Chain A
Amino acid sequence: MNALLAMLSSPLSAHWVIVPILLPLFTGAVMLLMREERRRLKAALNIGSTLLGLLLAIALLRWVDDQGTVGSIGIYLPGNWQAPYGIVLAVDRLSAMMLVLASTVALGSVVFAAARWHRAGVHYHPLFQFQLMGLSGAFLTADLFNLFVFFEILLAASYGLLLHGSGRLRVKAGLHYIAINLGASSLFLIGVSMLYGVTGTLNMADLAQKIPLVTDADRGLLHASAAILAVAFLAKAAVWPLNFWLVPAYSAATAPVGALFAIMSKVGIYTILRLWTLLFSADAGASAAFGGQWLVAGGLATLAFGAIGMLGSQKLGHLAGFAVIVSSGTLLASIGFGQTGLTAGALYYLLSSTLAASALFMLVDLVERWRNAGASIAPHELSDNAPFLSPSLEFEAGMNLDDEEEVLIGKAIPAATAFLGLGFLGCTLLLTGLPPLSGFVGKFAILTALLNPLGLGMSAHNTPGIAGWTLLALLITSGLLGLIAMSRAGIRHFWAAHDRGVPQLRLAEGLPVAGLLLACALLTVQAGNVMRYLQATADALHTPDAYVEAIMGAKPRSAPAKTNDQKAMP
């Protein structure tokens, strides 16, 4: 780690910004050349490359943070053209944080996949690396059209990953997922080209400078283009009513893919946060904070939809899918207020909920396999209906637990069962926001910032307003509904399941779940440091001058001294 940090501060440091994109690209390309039978080698390469990517992301994060100033960012000009003429890659606190989060989730997912799921189809490992490449690129780029290209890379890889393992359910979900995303990509292109037509630039920093200069006659076009662009991102971020594809797709995907996809909807959130704070900052004149109330309203509707969905889902996979939607809704609504404290709290919640949702997707797979290995399945669990008053739930002689209670007490719980149960408990605490884990800290930070927009003790005459109170009420209610849904699922799978054998659990499958939950525990223990970092991130986001100046001021490298041979050439 220290060696990496030392390398980052060397004169060539700027080149490290592009490595998170190149590393998965080359790893994926090399793996394409290997025969499909060499899965073990590919898995080792994949894990090694992802681990290296994680270390690099952590080094970038520490490097960005150590510079100390509000807008500390690393800039890389891939074509050595000055902005806005060339493409720019930039890593600031937000990008570095998202890189670390994506790499962490990816590492968990790939270790889990290496245990068995990567054998379910072909080309799992190259697709996984290309997906990582698209993710890193989307987090690093500072150019709108470049963002589109990286979105397409990560989507193309995600289509392949979603179909991994094939089967009727996955192909059906994949067909819908691809159609929705192709539609969203069309909207993305329309929005981008309209924005270019109005402002004449696609560089994000240059856009931030040009938007205050847009004439009133063009402002309608500008807002229309931003809204069309936002719809494309909101569809990816799973805002209601653009999120009906998410639950079938994520629950049909194989477990490690579902775990990786937990970060996919966060890409939409990241893009909205980045572009909205940059283009419609307080400096944007008449366009300042354009669309904020729409983000809040969409987020609140999504939050309510996700919470009701959690309550209504009987299958564990659907539960995890709706948990992702709840997380998206909370984030969008909190971001839409445009307050730094609230954004910082939302970012903490983003870290915690993504890790937890990812762990839950993998845990669901282990629990489902345990249940398929033996044991009775009630009819209502096969269809996705609530078990109200169905004949199978009526009293039967064998279901009476009272007679067996004496036998159950003192019976040792097998370690694997205990692990699954504790893991599920951890996910429940994290996703519903109960103490003592990081889900609670995140929600607490959001609620505190909501009630005290100017900081604790300084907001005596500030009330949250209708939208604020609604968010407060929905956050708490959604936590309660989620808790009811997850307790019910937990009771059904862990308490009412005493006729099952011990689950077959491999170390490589338990490790990523435990690792992701431990990462959440680490977030809780280090909450002070993490919040300080995130507060700096939010401050920089809401005053984007430093970001804009750093990108527009980045100087291309002067050409190396030419030899006589090169001079002779025309």
Chain B
Amino acid sequence: MELLLSLAIGVLTGSGVWLLLRPRSFQVIMGLSLLSYAVNLFMFSMGRLSIDREPVLVPGVPLNLLHYDDPIPQALVLTAIVIGFAMTALFLVVMMASRGLSGTDHVDGTEGGQ
């Protein structure tokens, strides 16, 4: 499971960074989205990977992290997802404005060489 998750995070990050460095604004926004998925998975994994641990307190189970999942990274991921979603939407609007004003989807507002 560790190998699979770290490979997934690595592939998402690699593709995200590559797309982020591309000149088209659509590629940039896809790159940012992939990067934020990678970051969210990474944050989630920082609470340690585990199977069959209780997420919510259960009577009779000792109160420590050996028996429960760490709730903090999950709360952090939730916040990060919401903020990341809002920021992506905002970026999309600016991207559309740039496209409308300049008539091109190049991030610099002009095609190369002009």
Contacts and interface: CB of A to CB of B under 8 A. Distances in A.
Interface string B74-114: 00100110011011101100110110011000011100000
A171 B42 CA distance: 32
Contact of B91 (A149, A152, A178): A178
Interface stretch (A188-196, A270-278, A333-341, A432-440): A188-196
A183 interface: yes
Contact of B109 (A148, A168, A186, A194): A168
A399 interface: no
Interface in A159-218: 159, 163, 166-168, 171-172, 174-176, 178-179, 182-183, 185-186, 189-190, 192-194, 196-197, 202
A193 B90 contact: no
Contacts of A159: 90, 94
Q: Lowest 10 A-B CB distances belong to which pairs?
A: A197-B46, A193-B43, A193-B46, A172-B109, A168-B101, A171-B98, A189-B39, A152-B83, A186-B39, A171-B97
A192 B72 CA distance: 12
**Among the interface residues A179, A186, A202, which one has the most CB atoms of the partner chain B within 10 A?**
A186
A178 B90 contact: yes
Contacts of A194: 46
Interface residues of A, number: 29
14 contacts: A167-B101, A175-B94, A175-B109, A178-B91, A179-B20, A179-B32, A179-B91, A179-B107, A182-B87, A186-B35, A190-B43, A192-B43, A193-B39, A197-B48
Nearest to B90: A159
B5 to A, nearest CB: 14
Given A179-B107, A183-B20, A183-B32, A171 B101 contact: yes
A482 to B, nearest CB: 29
A385 B3 CA distance: 54
Contacts of B109: 168, 171-172, 175
Contact of A178 (B48, B72, B84, B94): B94
Contact of B46 (A167, A176, A185, A196): A196
Interface of A: 145, 148-149, 152, 156, 159, 163, 166-168, 171-172, 174-176, 178-179, 182-183, 185-186, 189-190, 192-194, 196-197, 202
Contacts of B91: 175, 178-179, 182
Contacts of B97: 163, 166, 171
Contacts of B88: 182
B102 A168 contact: yes
A178 B98 CA distance: 13
A196 B90 contact: no
Given A152-B87, A168-B109, A179 B80 contact: no
B79 A149 contact: yes
A196 B73 contact: yes
Given A179-B91, A194-B46, A149 B83 contact: yes
B79 A145 contact: yes
B42 A156 contact: no
A144 to B, nearest CB: 10
Given A156-B87, A193-B46, A175 B79 contact: no
A516 B79 CA distance: 38
B111 to A, nearest CB: 13
Given A174-B94, A179-B107, A193-B73, A186 B36 contact: yes
A542 to B, nearest CB: 30
B107 A176 contact: yes
A175 B95 contact: yes
Nearest to B96: A171
A186 B43 CA distance: 11
A433 B87 CA distance: 39
B76 A172 contact: no
B70 to A, nearest CB: 9
Contact of A145 (B25, B28, B76, B101): B76
Nearest to A187: B39
A292 B25 CA distance: 37
Nearest to B36: A186
**Among the interface residues A148, A156, A172, A194, which one has the most CB atoms of the partner chain B within 10 A?**
A172
A175 B73 CA distance: 30
A178 B28 CA distance: 11
Nearest to A153: B83
A166 B97 CA distance: 9
Contacts of B47: 197
A192 B76 CA distance: 10
Contact of B94 (A145, A163, A193): A163
A197 B42 CA distance: 10
**Among the interface residues A167, A176, A189, A192, which one has the most CB atoms of the partner chain B within 10 A?**
A189
Nearest to B38: A186
Contact of B108 (A172, A185, A197): A172
Nearest to A168: B101
A252 B77 CA distance: 34
Nearest to A160: B90
Given A156-B86, A186-B39, A196 B107 contact: no
A193 B86 contact: no
A354 B108 CA distance: 30
B40 to A, nearest CB: 8
A449 to B, nearest CB: 39
A171 B94 contact: yes
Nearest to A196: B46
A182 B89 CA distance: 12
Nearest to B72: A196
Contacts of A183: 20, 32, 35
A126 B93 CA distance: 19
B76 A193 contact: yes
B42 A172 contact: no
A151 to B, nearest CB: 10
A452 B43 CA distance: 45
Nearest to B20: A183
